[in-house]
Structure 1
Amino acid sequence: MESFVLNEQPLEGWSCNYTDALTPLRTLKENDIFLVCDALGNIPGNCRTTSMGLFCADTRYLSRMELRLNGQPPVLLSGTADAGYAATMRMTNSFEEGGLQPDSVGISRSIVLCGGVFEHIELTNYSSHPVDISLSLSFGADFADLFEVRGFHRARRGQSLRPGGELPADTIVLAYRGLDEQVMETRIHFNQLPDRIDGTSASWNFLLKPHQQVQVEYRMLLLREGESASYTPAPATFEQARATAQSAQQAWRQSVTQIHSNNDLFNQALERSTRDLFLLRILLPEGHSVAAGVPWFATLFGRDSIITASQTLLLEPAIARETLKLLAHFQGKADNPWRDEQPGKILHEIRRGELARCQEVPHTPYYGTVDATPLWLMLLAEYYAWTADIGLLRELWPNALAAMAWIDRQCDEQPGPLRGYLAYRRQSERGLANQGWKDSDDCIVHADGRRATGAIALCEVQGYVYASKVRLAQLAPLFGDEELAEVWYKQAQDLKERFNRDFWLNEQDYCALALDGEGRLVEGISSNPGHCLLTGILSRDHRQAVAERLTAPDLFSGWGIRTLHSLSPAFNPIGYHTGSVWPHDNSLVALGLRSVGAVSQMLEIGSVLFEVAQNQPLYRLPELFCGFTRDAQDSLLASYPVACSPQAWAAGSLFQILQAMVNLVPDAPGNCLRIIEPVLPSWLSSLELKNLRVGTSVLDLRFEVSGGSTSCRITNKRGNLRVIVEA
């Protein structure tokens, strides 16, 4: 590693009115690297923004990247980041200087992520006479931790560095030493020697003949302590990087279930979701999983990764396998209040940036989630039903026992009226106040809008516990433990009886959002009880009431089910969890509606989510959107200003909706697949699933609508799986 000296220059770009919400952005991701830039491919150097930059390992390795022609930014003609790992922009000049006419120079800019950043720039003189052109590329790096980018204030931070000796003439190095003494570098190598390197800017001067082209490329490596900060090896050239990234995406795309319908827009939305799931894959030294979302959540999460894996079992069961193993590796082993950790608990989030390394935040990993542990158990049972992977089940059974022991211990230790329910209360001073999927500070509210206080027992979490008890009771006999199976089953039935008594709002004929620390019902009408439908914890009468209530006008906006109903004093259609609409929340509710026979409501939710997707850039469902009422006078969908896009469980939502429609019930251990009363919406008349894997068998299915009913036939099968279609 080279020697460095302190750089006393102030960090660039810390005040500006530039906001992501008002600026068209491009987002690229490859494994653990992601880039958020403007439509030109630039990261403006004269302003600090909320999310723009090049990030790896929760660190912003670039806070400035600007291409200029003759000192001016180019004008965009067209551009795309459709591939996800790459962006291409066609641009031109708009100025008149030194005989250079406007729109006379073509600029083609291509950026690829693959273990680093690779850029190819091509300039073409389209005028009829020679022109003098100056091309410049300027870089800057604040090496801010992602928490800093999001607004975390540090009393002090590390030092910007500059190389202590002579650099090669084709290289720019940006460097920083953190408070943990680790040195991070952004190292840029140009394939064509610049005419001038001035600090962090490189420039080239060209005299181009009519229709002459010139090209410039560079390779950017991200380093920590002299080693690659990314877990993906970086190729040597731009073409190798593009070919490597493209080949990896194509190979994954061909290995998963192929889905095609008669509706081209639906096909494009599914294709986008499939590509996004590939892009969001993340490789850590400990294993593989899916990152939650870009830009804020490009790391391993417990709840998000589990739900995404469950949503996509129909598409690729390996996502669930990898996620189960990785989360088991990080399962809690000790009582650590700083990290909200207890033995057997599944993590919430892990970070690798400077703040985590310096223990300024508890994300090493952080365990402040109440639902990831029962959700992990549910996923383990679901994965086994799809695959009959007894090897993984046997490997993870000790983790399952530890997870269930954590649930039982937490339920037993709750005070007074919460005893027997799984509840949360923050331990870490830097942790989350609310620890369900709605984890913002203001989201758990009483009917009068007051925030619930004390320990909180969420309704859907009790449903998750019930489902995990029932499903693991079915697996315990595989390990010769019929007695444990009976205990879990009895505990589940007792929980169901108590839950339907303690959580029910008789006057509203609906399920309460939660019980608070005093055992009082939290009567806010929310989407949370919709998750209870899927788990089976609601009694017959109660599940029918919940199903009907979910699509009432105060909860259903016309674009989906709101997180909080519009009659609440706390309702805010722009609130993160207090009135907005989340695709994954709706897809879970839709699957629950299907499980209780509310088919028309399920199809309504599925149809509006598809409508949202087809009206989004790139047909991509966002993390969330606003909960304004849709009517004849106001039929436009309102975007949430800083929603993550892509977001894993949003990408998984359409596959979960599809599962709700075709209603596949796998029993791979029993070598059987049941398809129970499949139904397609009015906008689909045919649907094909190819390369669908259940156990060791692979099959192709075709669904068609005829005479108002949906039929299913097997068009190909490899293996001896029994397929039973129940019309």
Structure 2
Amino acid sequence: MAQGNTIRILDGNTFVVSEDTGDIEATPSEPTGLFSIDTRFLSRWVLTINGERLNALSYDDLQYYEARFFLVPGLATHYVDAKLSIIRERVVGGSFRETLAILNHDERPVDLHVRMDAGADFADLFQVKDEILNKKGEHYTEVEPELLRLGYRRGNFRRETVISSSGPARFDRQGFTYTIHLEPNEEWHTEIDVQTFAVGPGGRDLRMGVQAHGHERLALQHDLEQWIANAPKVNSECEHLGRTYQRSLVDLAALRFSPLSLPGQTVPAAGLPWFMTLFGRDSLLTCLQVLPFAPEMSRTTLRILAAVQGTRFDDFREEDPGRILHEMRYGETAAFEEQPHSPYYGSVDATPLFVVLLDEYERWSGDTALVMELERECRAALKWIDDYADLVGNGYIWYERRNTDTGLENQCWKDSWDSISFRDGSLPPFPRATCEVQGYAYDAKVRAARLAREFWGDPAYADELERQAAALKERFNRDWWVADGEYYALALDPTGRQADVLSSNIGHLLWSGIVEESRAARIAEHLVGPRLFSGWGVRTLAEGEVRYNPIGYHNGTIWPFDNSFIAWGLRNYGFAEEAATIADGILAAASYFDGRLPEAFGGYRRELTKFPVEYPTACSPQAWSTGTPMLLLRTMLGIEPHEGHLAVEPRLPVGMGRIEVLDIPGRWGRVDAFARGRLELHRLAD
């Protein structure tokens, strides 16, 4: 997957980031290398011929799991009348395999010294991210006649990279060498296998590497073909919409992650390169986005998160009974408790979102068995909301980190340190309560009441949940309404003072349903008004606020996922035109990113920049950005489950043209949805 001169290929738990020549030279500030289970298994992988580095003529990221590099000897700054062609072709599946081919175009035979320098620093991904490589264990290297073993051990924690070749090679401690002779027009090739192995502190075998075979690529290709075949088909007169959907579908396949504790089960990992692991919030929101297109992801995500739901009080991991995890890591720093992600529970939105997804999934799928299976976990999540999340005692969900060394300060989706502020730019004290999380709690109680009444046979519990939800809605609309701005505050501090900035979070209140009907129109006006809406999308923080910055991570950038839920919420409250406006802006932005929406992009006014400005360190691909076009399709077509059937009520942006979504899966089997947008005025004039 190309981004500038960086090539990224991935398959679930394993990914490679390299230069456009295929070389890997890890630096402290760039996540290059071969990564698996939060460890860098190759930090150096450099090809030379007769001591000379190679120049990339072109490269091709054929699929998310493979790439091909076309190279010649010589420097990129000089014209090269090359007599040799070098093709590097690599596949990432259960292991890493590279096929190397060299073609002699000279009229004379040549003798070549082909060298691959190889090294592994076994850096923990957190160490790479923080640019601090502080290894406390021992590196070792073993050279055998037919392989090179690079290793790292720290007590019982061990990681190994084992390199072998199909052709005869001379292995040494820094890599391996081929000596070859090529006649005119002759071709030479070899296959290089790189396997990765892992053993945990308790001696448990976490072997990730699987010997690569010739059929591996065919298996990956077949899996992708099946994934695409099972998904709904989207046909559209708007060409970039079709391309964006197809790109999102493939990226979603690439981001499927299989937790080590439950092999064979896949959930959406959060994003490349930093977040290729199990998350609570990210996985749940992504599943909500893609329900009409990949409902099976919701089932596995719910079951996996239920399996690791909190059961005890643990301040280091910020675990409570019933709490849904935030993030799971498998690297060295987690294994030795140098950071708490084993797993870490420091988010306050994943727990209510777990209940929300369970209900929404049943509405689409009719999978009552899962609702019955997860009753205990669902009740535990609701108990956490009432008994453990209300740190102030006023009926809201609050957060304040208990792990003051490595825990997250802000435990909502806007989790950067300065994302929650007062209108004067100052930061509130802790504990804090953000508005959208109260909406999630309201939604969770309403939905759980339905589950209790219809499936769990507990109408008294259902009645109690509905009373709690009604009281929460009334209390919220009293305490969070900013009277002089006519919107909801971003947050409250423990004294009840409002963090009274205008933010995108108010859009999440619409999809949760906590907004009073009489106030919804004013919220809609803000969301598509000039302070929040840039023309490309809704900014995280409104223009004019003290901390507004169009390239501030959560203080003015545009997050595609955020916008998809805002559009959905607008549509649910009857503001179809406003929802279509947001969908149109985000989908137009996608066309500038070759159909792959990044994690975030700049909040500059559309007329100022003429194109969306990418945020410099945005994850790409990223799961909930990948899910964005799918939720926007659902919103534009108005497809919703209704009394066991699929209802369709389209409202497309002007100029969108005809859209078909075919074979939408659900409890109704598979059905089609059609919509036709209104033409632009100049087209009517024609």
Q: TM-score, normalised on structure 1? A: 0.89
SS at match of 1:661: helix
Q: Does 1:181 align with 2:159?
A: no
Question: Contact (CA 8 Å) 1:583, 1:650: kept in 2 or not?
Answer: yes
SS at match of 1:202: strand
- Which aligned pairs between 1:66-145 and structure 2 lie closer than 5 A? 66-94=46-74, 102-145=81-124
- Which aligned pairs between 1:465-484 and structure 2 lie closer than 5 A? 465-478=441-454, 479-484=456-461
- Which aligned pairs between 1:669-688 and structure 2 lie closer than 5 A? 670-676=643-649, 678-688=650-660
Cα distance in 1 between the residues matched to 2:613 and 2:302: 36
Please name the residue that 2:197 is paired with. 223
Cα distance in 2 between the residues matched to 1:173 and 1:707: 63
**Per-residue deviation, residues 418-455 of structure 1 (Å, max 9, x unmatched):** x1111111111210000000001110011011111111
SS at match of 2:74: coil
Specify the code of the residue in structure 2 equivalent to 1:255. Answer: N
Please name the residue that 2:676 is paired with. 704
Specify the code of the residue in structure 1 equivalent to 2:604. Answer: F
Please name the residue that 1:367 is paired with. 345
Q: Does 1:295 align with 2:263?
A: no
Question: Contact (CA 8 Å) 1:77, 1:91: kept in 2 or not?
Answer: yes
Please name the residue that 1:27 is paired with. 8
Give structure 2 stretches of 5+ with no counterpart. 681-686
Question: Contact (CA 8 Å) 1:57, 1:229: kept in 2 or not?
Answer: no
- Which aligned pairs between 1:95-494 and structure 2 lie closer than 5 A? 102-151=81-130, 153=132, 157-163=136-142, 167-178=143-154, 180-194=155-169, 196-225=170-199, 229=206, 231=208, 234-237=210-213, 239-284=214-259, 285-286=261-262, 287-410=265-388, 412-415=390-393, 419-429=394-404, 430-478=406-454, 479-494=456-471
Cα distance in 1 between the residues matched to 2:59 and 2:132: 36
Change (3 A) 1:227 1:240: farther
Q: Post-superposition shift, 1:229?
A: 4.8
Moved more, 120-129 or 140-149: 120-129
Please name the residue that 2:42 is paired with. 62
Question: Contact (CA 8 Å) 2:327, 2:341: kept in 1 or not?
Answer: yes
Question: Contact (CA 8 Å) 1:463, 1:532: kept in 2 or not?
Answer: yes
Q: Does 1:555 align with 2:532?
A: yes
**Per-residue deviation, residues 617-659 of structure 1 (Å, max 9, x unmatched):** x421111112222225x21322111111110000000000001
Q: TM-score, normalised on structure 2? A: 0.94
Change (3 A) 1:174 1:517: same
Cα distance in 1 between the residues matched to 2:614 and 2:526: 25
Please name the residue that 1:628 is paired with. 604
Runs of 4+ in 1 over 4 A off after TM superposition: 152-156, 226-231, 705-708
Q: Post-superposition shift, 1:604?
A: 1.8
Cα distance in 1 between the residues matched to 2:614 and 2:246: 22
Specify the code of the residue in structure 1 equivalent to 2:218. Answer: A
Cα distance in 1 between the residues matched to 2:588 and 2:338: 43
Change (3 A) 1:483 1:101: closer
Specify the code of the residue in structure 2 equivalent to 1:649. Answer: W
**Per-residue deviation, residues 580-639 of structure 1 (Å, max 9, x unmatched):** 1111001111111111222222112111211222111x421111112222225x213221
- Which aligned pairs between 1:479-558 and structure 2 lie closer than 5 A? 479-558=456-535
Change (3 A) 1:513 1:707: closer
Q: Post-superposition shift, 1:320?
A: 0.5
Change (3 A) 1:54 1:228: farther
Specify the code of the residue in structure 1 equivalent to 2:340. Answer: P
Please name the residue that 2:684 is paired with. none
**Per-residue deviation, residues 461-518 of structure 1 (Å, max 9, x unmatched):** 1111111111111121122211111111111111111111110011111110011122
Moved more, 337-346 or 252-261: 252-261
Question: Contact (CA 8 Å) 2:24, 2:43: kept in 1 or not?
Answer: yes
Question: Contact (CA 8 Å) 1:23, 1:38: kept in 2 or not?
Answer: no
Specify the code of the residue in structure 2 equivalent to 1:462. Answer: Q
Please name the residue that 2:683 is paired with. none
Cα distance in 1 between the residues matched to 2:408 and 2:506: 22
Question: Contact (CA 8 Å) 1:70, 1:133: kept in 2 or not?
Answer: yes
Cα distance in 2 between the residues matched to 1:443 and 1:639: 19
Please name the residue that 2:22 is paired with. 41
SS at match of 1:215: strand
SS at match of 1:631: helix
Cα distance in 2 between the residues matched to 1:78 and 1:51: 22
Q: Post-superposition shift, 1:169?
A: 2.2
Change (3 A) 1:437 1:365: same
Please name the residue that 1:654 is paired with. 629
Cα distance in 1 between the residues matched to 2:207 and 2:272: 16
Change (3 A) 1:227 1:407: closer
Please name the residue that 1:9 is paired with. none
Q: Does 1:691 align with 2:663?
A: yes
SS at match of 2:63: coil
SS at match of 1:645: coil
Cα distance in 1 between the residues matched to 2:664 and 2:205: 37
Give the alignment's Cα RMSD to 1 decimal.
2.2
Change (3 A) 1:498 1:706: closer
Question: Contact (CA 8 Å) 2:648, 2:673: kept in 1 or not?
Answer: no
Percent sequence identity over aligned pairs: 37
Q: Post-superposition shift, 1:705?
A: 4.4
Q: Post-superposition shift, 1:411?
A: 5.3
Please name the residue that 1:16 is paired with. none
Q: Post-superposition shift, 1:168?
A: 3.4
SS at match of 2:525: helix
Please name the residue that 1:17 is paired with. none
Cα distance in 2 between the residues matched to 1:82 and 1:613: 20
SS at match of 2:374: helix
SS at match of 1:601: helix
Cα distance in 2 between the residues matched to 1:551 and 1:645: 26
Specify the code of the residue in structure 2 equivalent to 1:216. Answer: T
Cα distance in 2 between the residues matched to 1:686 and 1:384: 30
Q: Post-superposition shift, 1:236?
A: 3.6
SS at match of 1:81: strand
Specify the code of the residue in structure 2 equivalent to 1:594. Answer: R
Cα distance in 2 between the residues matched to 1:584 and 1:256: 20
Q: Post-superposition shift, 1:90?
A: 1.4
Question: Contact (CA 8 Å) 2:54, 2:71: kept in 1 or not?
Answer: yes
Give structure 1 stretches of 5+ with no counterpart. 1-20, 709-727
Moved more, 252-261 or 455-464: 252-261
Q: Post-superposition shift, 1:202?
A: 1.4
Cα distance in 2 between the residues matched to 1:573 and 1:137: 44
SS at match of 2:648: strand
Specify the code of the residue in structure 2 equivalent to 1:561. Answer: V
Moved more, 565-574 or 115-124: 565-574
Moved more, 242-251 or 399-408: 242-251
Specify the code of the residue in structure 2 equivalent to 1:31. Answer: G
Specify the code of the residue in structure 2 equivalent to 1:270. Answer: Y
